[in-house]
Homo-oligomer: A and B are copies of this chain.
Amino acid sequence: MKTDHRSPCPISSFLDLWGDRWTLIIIRDMLVGKRRFSDLEAGNERVPASILANRMKQLTELGVAKRVQYSERPPRFEYHLTDKGKALRPVLIAMSDWSEQNLDDRWHTPDWFREGRSAPGRD
């Protein structure tokens, strides 16, 4: 995924950054409260580890996530969404709305997600 913009249009610029099949799924899981590589990897849609590693590097470089060491020995890291990352929630909600109204048999997005909270029991 490239980070240079095809045009100054805010929509196309958004897609330059997040227009692929995995990145916003990772963001969704982080909004829900997942922080660790293994948690993100084990999600419903099974992101391949190679892609997950690439995306986390990107998210970090773009200032949407922060890589934080939570254990020295053994060295272990987790990722935290920044405000820039948390600000993506309305986009995901708009996507949910469209899917729930136009596709069959999708899960209903929980209210706590729409209202800006993590999953109950997460964080």
User: Which residues of chain A have a CB within 8 Å of any CB of chain B?
Assistant: 6-16, 19-22, 24-25, 28, 44-46, 84, 87-88, 90-103, 105-109
Chain A binding surface, main DSSP class: helix
Cβ distance A39 to chain B, nearest Cβ, rounded Å = 16
Q: How many copies does the complex hold?
A: 2
Which residue from chain B places its CB closest to the CB of A105 in the assembled complex?
B8
**With A20-B21, A91-B91 given, is the CB distance from A12 to B98 under 8 Å?**
no
Cβ distance A46 to chain B, nearest Cβ, rounded Å = 8
**With A19-B19, A19-B21, A21-B16 given, is the CB distance from A11 to B92 under 8 Å?**
yes
A9 touches B106 (CB 8 A): yes
